Amino acid sequence: MDTLDVVFMGVSLEDANAEIALVGQSKKEIEYEIYGRVVNMNDLKKAVKTERQDQWGIPVFKTEKNYSAGTVRVRQVDGGRIELATKVKRDSSEAEIETSKDMFDHFRKLADQGLIKVRHFFPVDDAFTYEVDAFFNTAGQLSDWVKIDLELPEGVETIDALPELPFEMTDVRVIAPGPKKPEDLAFVRQLFEKYFNVGNQFIDGLPPSESANIVLQAENKISAEANSPKLAEKFHADLKAKLGQA
C-alpha cells in the first residue's frame, strides 16, 4: 500500500496536512508530549509517512503589557511548502498559514536557533496519530532522543491511557496537556539545548543555503550507522568536511 493511500478519520495524511497549512484559523492545541530514547532507530522507517521539517522560531515572553507568552515560527516542509504559525501558551491556541520563501529566510536570520528534523507519522487507531520527531544537529548526527506528540481530537482534553508506542523506547517521560511542572520544563529545556537545537546558520560558520541540505543527508545513513560503526565514523568525518568543520 502506498503511504499516501493510508487514511485515518476519513482524511488522508496528505489532504489533512494541506488543509491545516491553508486554513489560518485559530484552533486549540491539546496534546501529550512524550520524550525518550529509541532503542532501534530503524524502527522509525515503519512510519506510514515522513516529512523533513526545517523550523525557525522567535519566542514571545510574558510581560505586564501582553496577554501571554508564545511563539512565532516558520517551518519548511520537504523543501517546499512554508508554514507561518503563531502559538499562544495561555490558551493553548495555534494559527497557521502558508507564507513565502522570503519570510522563511527572514526568520532564519532573526532566530537564535532552530530545528532540523524528520517527522514520522504512526497512526495507532481511528482517532490518534503519534507524530515522532527525530532531530539532527549541525554535524549531521541523529539523536536517539525523540519528541513524540499525540494531539487529542477536538473536544477531548484528556484520555485514560496512552495508546501503545509503535516502537521500543527507554527513559520515557510523558507530559500531560496543560501547564508544565517546573521539573518538566527544566527537563525539556535541557533536552532541546543538548540534543535538538541548532544555531543560527548565518553566524555559525555554515553556508546558509546549503547547510540544512547537507545535514539531512544523514537520514539515509541510519541503517549503516546502526550496523557499521566504521562506516558511520567515515560518514560523519566527510560531512564535517563538507560543512567546513574538519
- DSSP conformation letters of the chain: --GGG-EETTEEHHHHHHHHHHH---EE--EEEEEEEES-GGGGGG-SEEEEEEEEEEEE---TTSS--EEEEEEEETTS-EEEEEEETTTTEEEEEE--HHHHHHHHHH-SEEEEEEEEEEE-SSS-EEEEEEEE-TTSPEEEEEEEEEEPPTT----SSPPPPSS-EEEEEEE-SSSPPHHHHHHHHHHIIIIIEEE-TTTTTS-TTTHHHHHGGGGGGHHHHHH-HHHHHHHHHHHHHHTT--
| Residues 200, 221: Cα–Cα separation, whole Å | 25
Rounded average pLDDT over 8-29? 54
Number of domains composing the chain? 1
> Each residue of 121-165: pLDDT tens digit?
999 887 899 999 999 977 778 899 999 999 998 788 888 899 999
User: Domain containing 203: what range?
Assistant: 3-242
Query: Model-level pTM?
Result: 0.73
> Each residue of 46-65: pLDDT tens digit?
999 999 999 999 999 999 99
Rounded average pLDDT over 11-31? 60
| Residues comprising the chain, all counted | 246
